[in-house]
């Protein structure tokens, strides 16, 4: 597949299995009813509902392998579009201008998954709901892309402010460290249901294990192990709602070695055993 001409456009599709490799524009990726996996030259990303992946221009691969159809809604921005929108919001972000490392001529977003905020959700829903009706209305179409880019830029400035928790001497060093820890964060999100080791995470982030542990805790307020455990429990709760899945099925689906370990850790985290939690789900539905 050849690279598309530089323009603003949308890809809206559904698929159970899909694979593509190539060059893409600055874009945000959203999915419903399942997830998609991405790989870039920097890291690995799992994009599920209520999150989006932001990728700068560059090469990547995407794969989908689900039992049910996954709906994708991906927005691509033409070259230089972020720089065009940037001046319209700088008045409300004057503090950014005091950073000598902030370049107004280029916008290099942080490639990672983000939680979809209520503001972004409303804009995406509006875009998706009215796209078929207005996609030939160039004025409406351009307005939606400007609104989305403004939301992305505000999120970018918010991310810049979070980097202040990293006590490094140079802003450029802080920027690169944040990018590497973000790679570790998304690697965990993508592979928490596998048997991953600290070495695996630090290697993909290109950081020493000690540096990773220290920086990860500063940025996310938790250790990599705590994050893996949190994601496994959240996934287990969702799977326990499916009455057709056995405890053994769920155990291996979320990355535990045996049901006894899963039950013990689940109860320590929630105060209920998996069976008690499932019974509670049934009672709450009735």
Q: If phi over 0 gives left and psi between -120 and 50 gives alpha, with beta otherwise, what is residue 206?
A: left
Predicted local distance difference test score (pLDDT) of residue 106:
72
Q: Calculate mean pLDDT across residues 261-272.
A: 94
Predicted local distance difference test score (pLDDT) of residue 75:
96
Q: Calculate mean pLDDT across residues 255-263.
A: 93
> Which residues are CB-contacts of 275 (< 8 A; sequence separation ≥ 6)?
247
Predicted local distance difference test score (pLDDT) of residue 169:
59
Share of the chain above pLDDT 90, in %: 75
Q: 9-162: which CATH number, 2.60.120, 2.60.40, 3.30.70, 1.10.3470?
A: 2.60.120
State how far Cα 189 lies from the chain centre.
Answer: 8
Q: What is the mean pLDDT of the chain?
A: 89
Domain boundaries, the chain: 9-162, 181-221, 229-285
pLDDT tens digit sequence for 185-229? 999 999 999 999 999 999 999 999 999 999 999 999 999 999 999
Cα torsion through 90, 93, 97, 102, rounded to 10: -90
CB 74 within 8 A of CB 28: yes
Is 50 exceeded by the pLDDT of residue 2? no
Predicted local distance difference test score (pLDDT) of residue 101:
47
CB 71 within 8 A of CB 31: yes
Predicted local distance difference test score (pLDDT) of residue 160:
83
Is 50 exceeded by the pLDDT of residue 1? no
Residue holding tokens 């919001």? 89
φ, ψ of residue 20 in degrees (nearest 5)? -150, 145
Q: Calculate mean pLDDT across residues 171-194.
A: 92
- CATH for the stretch 229-285: 1.10.10.60
pLDDT tens digit sequence for 13-29? 999 999 999 999 999 99
pLDDT tens digit sequence for 91-108? 555 555 455 444 556 788
């Amino acid at each position: 597949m050849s690279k598309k001409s530089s323009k603003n456009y949308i890809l809206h599709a559904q698929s159970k299995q899909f694979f593509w490799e190539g060059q893409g524009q600055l874009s945000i990726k959203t999915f419903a009813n399942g997830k998609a996996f991405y790989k870039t030259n920097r890291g690995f990303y799992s994009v599920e509902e209520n999150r989006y992946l932001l990728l700068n221009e560059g090469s990547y691969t995407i794969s989908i392998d689900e039992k049910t159809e996954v709906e994708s809604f991906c927005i691509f921005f033409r070259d230089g579009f972020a720089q065009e929108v940037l001046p319209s919001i700088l008045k409300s972000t004057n503090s950014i201008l005091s950073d000598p490392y902030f370049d107004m001529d280029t916008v290099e977003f942080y490639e990672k998954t983000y939680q979809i905020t209520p503001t972004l959700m409303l804009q995406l829903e509006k875009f998706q709901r009215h796209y078929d009706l207005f996609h030939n209305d160039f004025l409406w179409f351009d307005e939606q892309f400007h609104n989305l880019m403004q939301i992305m830029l505000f999120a970018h400035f918010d991310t810049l402010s979070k980097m202040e928790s990293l006590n490094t001497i140079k802003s450029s060093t802080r920027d690169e460290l944040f990018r590497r820890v973000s790679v570790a964060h998304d690697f965990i999100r993508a592979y928490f249901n596998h048997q991953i080791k600290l070495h695996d995470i630090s290697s993909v982030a290109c950081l020493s294990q000690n540096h990773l542990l220290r920086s990860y805790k500063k940025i996310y307020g938790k250790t990599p192990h705590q994050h893996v455990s949190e994601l496994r429990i959240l996934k287990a709760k969702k799977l326990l709602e499916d009455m057709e899945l056995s405890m053994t099925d769920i155990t291996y689906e979320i990355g535990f070695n045996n049901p006894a370990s899963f039950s013990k850790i689940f109860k320590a985290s929630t105060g209920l055993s998996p069976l008690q939690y499932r019974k509670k789900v049934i009672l709450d539905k009735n």
